[in-house]
Amino acid sequence: MDVRQLQRQWIDLISALFREGFLDAQFTQLQQLQDESNPDFVVEVVTLFFEDSERLLNDLCNVLSQQVVDFNRVDAHVHQLKGSSASIGAQRVKNVCISFRNCCEERNLEGCFGCLQQVKQEYTLVKGKLEALFGLEQQIVAAGGSLPMM
């Protein structure tokens, strides 16, 4: 595929991510911090987010499956997930975390399970889309092109 087509696809994908609320202005902050001396900054930080999130989602599953649920622990994990999703601009994940924390506060176990499902879903969605975005970036760079300035 021609570089310009790839660049066009990249622009379309990232515009959709912002338009559909998957990403917010914090993601743009990260993009602005990427330059020739830090060419992989966004991928590096997002990869840390993926690692963190997978661990936290696992922990959440475990804590919620206990006979006696420790809601303070659940809340602590959700707080961390909310923080890291906010830091990379993963808006939808962050928003589910806000509802999740409310359920924790109310000691609403069913609500918590619902939120866990939702947050897993939103995480999987945004992960897939970001991986597609990074895949396009690699192709653009391999074809000798550069990423469009946002």
Partner 1 sequence: MAAAGGGEGEREREREMHVLAVDDSSVDRAVIARLLRNFKHRVTTVESGVRALEMLGLEPNVNMIITDYWMPEMTGFELLKRIKESKDLKKIPVVIMSSENVPTRITMCMKEGAEDFLLKPVKQSDVSRVCSRMMR
Residues lying near partner 1 in the complex (CB under 8 A): 26, 29-30, 32-33, 38, 41, 44-45, 48-49, 51-52, 76, 79-80, 82-84, 86-89
Rounded Cα–Cα distance for residues 76 and 138 (Å): 36
Which one, 25 or 68, has the nearer CB to partner 1?
Answer: 25
Residue that is written with structure tokens 């690692």 in the block: 51
Least separation in angstroms between CB 113 and partner 1: 24
Packing angle between helix 71-88 and helix 41-64, nearest 10 degrees?
Answer: 160
Rounded Cα–Cα distance for residues 145 and 137 (Å): 9
Least separation in angstroms between CB 46 and partner 1: 9
Count of C-beta atoms within a 10 Å radius of residue 91: 22
Which one, 6 or 81, has the nearer CB to partner 1?
Answer: 81
Which one, 3 or 76, has the nearer CB to partner 1?
Answer: 76
Which one, 41 or 113, has the nearer CB to partner 1?
Answer: 41
Least separation in angstroms between CB 86 and partner 1: 5
41 φ, ψ (degrees, to nearest 5): -55, -50
Least separation in angstroms between CB 2 and partner 1: 33
Which one, 45 or 132, has the nearer CB to partner 1?
Answer: 45
The 3-state secondary structure of 53-76, one letter per residue: HHHHHHHHHHHHCCCCCCHHHHHH
Least separation in angstroms between CB 26 and partner 1: 5
Structure tokens at 51: 């690692």
